[in-house]
Amino acid sequence: MIDLHTHTIFSDGELIPFELIRRAEACGYTALAITDHVDSSNIDFVIPRIVKALEKIQTISKINVFPGAEITHAPPELIPDLVREARKLGAKIVVVHGETIVEPVMKGTNRAAINAGADILAHPGLISTEDLLLAKEKNVLLEITARKGHSLCNGYVAREAIRFGTLLCINTDSHSPSDLITKETARQILLAAGIDENRIDSIFENSKILVDKISRRS
């Protein structure tokens, strides 16, 4: 399992980074990104501490671990600057909190995230055709999520992404120990989203390709 969207006590998660990593190892993970929620108020606090924590454990961890960030509820106009700042502070992967239907995310967030060069657009809700095509052009991954609530649009996102050839990935958006999943559970979530069995390995491969890209940034 490769999971590139998780949270710790540095935002609204329950676990400190080392425990999250250990529990991910126990679930059979091969790679993990810690992507705590950030905006302009805390980005310079959160990312350096994740970087520091992972520097301590990187060489002895059984899995690849990457510092990241999830830009959350930022006005679309501020997203480009926040993506750049996150990378400058050491985030190897940048996720943007997309236009989920269960939260009042500002309209235009999906497009701003894609144009800003985020790596993953999380739970993008009822994403438009224009934004699907833009994500395809810019190789931004759209997330199929295991997270309750956000997962309500998994079927729509999967169907439309496959229709237009936009890349997909699957993440947990973990906030607590019970949110972590095995690769087999991830497979079942993808099937439940209406994705054909013969497409599932390619979705896992998209995450692996992104991990390889992140590794080259390290």
pLDDT tens digit sequence for 146-159: 999 999 999 999 99
Q: Report the largest interatomic distance among the alpha carbons of the chain, rounded to a whole angstrom.
A: 44
Cα gap 195→140, rounded to integer Å: 19
- DSSP letter for 97, please: E
- DSSP letter for 13, please: -
210 in helix, strand or coil? Answer: helix
> In the numeric block, which tokens belong to residue 215?
């590794």
Neighbours of 198 (CB within 10 A): 7
Host domain of residue 202: 2-217
Tens of pLDDT, residue by residue over 49-77, are 999 999 999 889 999 999 999 999 999 99
Neighbours of 164 (CB within 10 A): 12
Per-residue pLDDT in tens (0 to 9) along the chain, 218 residues: 999 999 999 999 999 999 999 999 999 999 999 999 999 999 999 999 999 999 999 889 999 999 999 999 999 999 999 999 999 999 999 999 999 999 999 999 999 999 999 999 999 999 999 999 999 999 999 999 999 999 999 999 999 999 999 999 999 999 999 999 999 999 999 999 999 999 999 999 999 999 998 888 66
Task: List phi, psi (to 5°) of 143.
Answer: -95, 130
Tally of structural domains, the chain:
1
Calculate the alpha carbon distances from 199 to 114, 134, 164, 203, 211 in Å.
23, 21, 14, 7, 19
CATH (domain of 49): 3.20.20.140
The structure's pTM equals: 0.97
